Structure 1
Amino acid sequence: MDSSALADLAVSGQINCLCDQKFFSELAKEASDIAGCFSSRVRHLLNLHEHKIKRFITFVSQCFQNPQQATEQECRMLIEYVIMNALAIRKILKKYDKVHRSANGRKFKSKMLSEHIEVLQSPWLIELGAFSMFSEPNGGRNDEPLNPFSCDLSSTEPKMTLMLPDRVKLEYNLLCPICLELVFKPYALGCGHLFCKSCACSAASVLIFEGPKAARAGSKCPVCREAGVYGNAVHMIELSLLLKKHCKEYWKERAAEEGAEISRQTKMYWDMQSKYMIGY
């Protein structure tokens, strides 16, 4: 091969590299925008659900629509939104690898996970799934769309499952990796890992009543060791309500244990504060 052919190949390779960079840069921005829009809308929806008076006033102003029905409809729309967009990105990456005979699409999926823009792994999706299951009427109704979320809390590995099209299943582990029990008053750290509130606090060396967000800025996830994940931890309120509903006895036992531990920690904290103020 002569030098001109080699030069042409080098130029072609550089062009392809630049095209790849632009393609994946644009796709990363799109995925980030989708994740940001989704989390924002879920937070707004669940905030309305939590503050019933505010929710009532908001929806009454919208043509006197039934607040509960409107909330459930918004929940279904968000689930459809996240599934549609996540599958579209996956198909684009699969097609890209097939056309270009590369593994860059698979590498990009790993990058999405590490940068927390893979919307199917968002803790807000787990919250939305918990809300959708908690809101279901007893036994359900045949005329309602099938909920793609389900949970199995009776096994040794409790989990929530999201059923995607083509029988693809995503499973979210609900076992705390520290105490190895069903997560109690769960928090999701910035990396996405779920912990009991008390376990997350213990790992970060903060008191339970202070909460995980009181952890030092550099505190690391006990599982993946990513630093700085406590500041943006998500309190999984809807998941907590769902688990409390289905595991009443377990919840009661854990609540008593945590209450006793909080009392012990509070007494110890104020004893130390008193000694500091008095000077001995």
Structure 2
Amino acid sequence: MKFGETFMEYLHGEQEGFLDKCSHVEYKRLKKVLKSCRVCRESRDSCPSNEHDDDNGNAQLHHEFCQCEACPLCDQMFFSELMKEASEIAGFFTSRVRHILHLHISTGMQGYLLRFRHCFTNDQQAMVQEGRMLIEYVTMNAIAMRKILKKYDKVHSSVNGRKFKSKMQSERIELLQSPWLIELGAFYMNFNERDGGESNKFFSYDLHSTQPVMTMMLPDSVKLEYNLSCAICLELVFNPYALCCGHLFCKSCACSAASVMIFQGLKAASPESKCPVCRAAGVYGDAVHMLELDLFLKKRCKEYWKERLVAERAEMVKQSKEYWDLQTKFMIGY
């Protein structure tokens, strides 16, 4: 079955009620836009020659698609529409995942009230069900975007589709690279394994290899791997934070890279501070604290997690002492 048929079947399947509330890629309509893109007289001068002589000496077209680097028809209708859809999908996905995780890992009085509520209502299953639907939602739409962009490049013999993917990454709306997808995967495995569910339907993991990874299964047996090692200490991430650029670090390592102390947190980082991996600036202020991933690692690497906890607390106490010693000396003019 072609992906277009699979995607339409998904849109009109059992999740149709859920999908009516949210945006999705207009795959069929965007594909029609590409099909309607033909060589136009105004752009023939800027297009590579598509002609060759047949046996009778008549010029024929190799094919009917536009071969120019930029196409006015597609550039006006295609990319603007796709960017709007990608932004809406990413926004909806992020807001729903944050809501689910907030309910799952609430602390204090709110956490107590939620646990008390669970004694009377079984809404945790509803949370897992919504999590499963969100995983399918973001996966199907991400694949639809990738396929339609690949089709664009094929039709126009250009790299604009790949450039658009890079633009989505820079604007943090690349769906399959979202830290919230990793958080949702950790939530899904935490809950399902606790209740004896199928933990490997979407996600699997290997935390004891040279490079610890979480693997997401996509349709057609395609695997997408997320590296769970910190790019600074090269160890399995502890108390992980995902910067706005998507790179994952231990909190202590990220604070060190941003030249702030652990107890101050990443929000104290300067806007000019750059990611140690991609050198993007301004990525610390809205970093995502990966609480669900931290819980996932805590359950499966207990000894390692305890060792890192002791080390981080000791470093935090040391930094706090040094900081307040300096503040005291400054105040008394020493």
TM-score (normalised: structure 2): 0.75
Q: Give the 3-state SS of the residue equivalent to 1:210 in structure 2.
A: coil
Residue deviations 1:258-280, cap 9 Å, x none?
11111111111111111122221
Q: Distance in 2 between matches of 1:223 and 1:97?
A: 29
Query: What is the aligned length?
Result: 271
How far residue 188 of structure 1 moved from its aligned partner, in angstroms, is 0.4
Residue 33 of structure 1 corresponds to which residue in structure 2? 88
Pairing partner for 1:82 from 138, 158, 161: 138
Give me the whole-angstrom Cα distance separating, in 2, the residues matched to 1:9 and 1:237: 55
Q: Which residue of 1 aligns with 2:51?
A: none
Q: CA deviation at 1:130?
A: 0.6
SS of 1:70 mapped into structure 2? helix
Unaligned runs of 5+ residues in structure 2 are 1-39, 47-65
Distance 1:82 1:8 in 2: 37
Instruction: Indicate how the Cα distance of structure 1 residues 34 and 253 shifts in structure 2: closer, same or farther if over 3 A, else same.
Output: same
> Residues 153 and 14 (structure 1 numbering): CA distance in 2 closer, same or farther, change over 3 Å?
closer
Cα shift at 1:243: 0.5
Structure 2 CA distance for aligned equivalents of residues 8 and 190 of structure 1: 40
Which of 94, 97, 120 in structure 1 is aligned with 2:150? 94
Provide the residue aligned with 2:164 in structure 1: 108
Report the Cα distance in structure 1 between the residues aligned to 2:146 and 2:117, rounded to whole angstroms. 36
C-alpha deviation, 1:202, in angstroms:
0.4
CA–CA separation in structure 2 for the residues paired with 1:273 and 1:215: 19
Larger Rg over CA atoms: 2
For 2:311, the equivalent position in structure 1 comes to 257
Could you say what secondary structure the match of 1:254 adopts? helix
Q: Which has the higher mean CA deviation after the structures are superposed, 98-107 or 217-226?
A: 98-107
Summarize the alignment of residues 13-162 of structure 1 with structure 2, pairs less than 5 Å apart: 16-51=71-106, 52-53=111-112, 55=114, 65-138=121-194, 140-141=196-197, 147-162=201-216
1:200-233 Cα shifts (integer Å, max 9, x gaps): 0000110001111110111100110000000110
The separation in 2 between residues aligned to 1:8 and 1:32, in whole angstroms, is: 31
Residue deviations 1:41-60 (CA, integer Å, cap 9, x gap): 11111111122345468889
Distance of 1:116 and 1:257 partners within structure 2: 33
Report how far residue 21 of structure 1 moved: 3.8
Unpaired stretches in structure 1, ≥5 consecutive residues: none
Q: Look up the equivalent residue of 1:97 and give its one-letter code.
A: D
Identical pairs, percent? 67
Task: Quote the RMSD (CA, aligned, Å).
Answer: 2.5
Higher helix share: 1
* Structure 1 SS opposite 2:211: coil
Task: Spell out, residue by residue over 1:236-268, the C-alpha distance to the aligned partner (whole angstroms, 9 max, x if none).
Answer: 000000001100010111111111111111111
SS in 2 for 1:135: helix
After superposition, the Cα gap between the structure-2 partners of 1:178 and 1:194, relative to the gap in structure 1 and judged at 3 Å, is same
2:56 is matched with which residue? none
Per-residue CA shift, 1:157-179, capped at 9, x if unaligned?
Answer: 00111010001111110110100
Of 6, 9, 14 in structure 1, the residue corresponding to residue 44 of structure 2 is 9
The letter for the 2-side match of 1:9 is R
Q: Distance in 1 between matches of 2:158 and 2:117?
A: 50
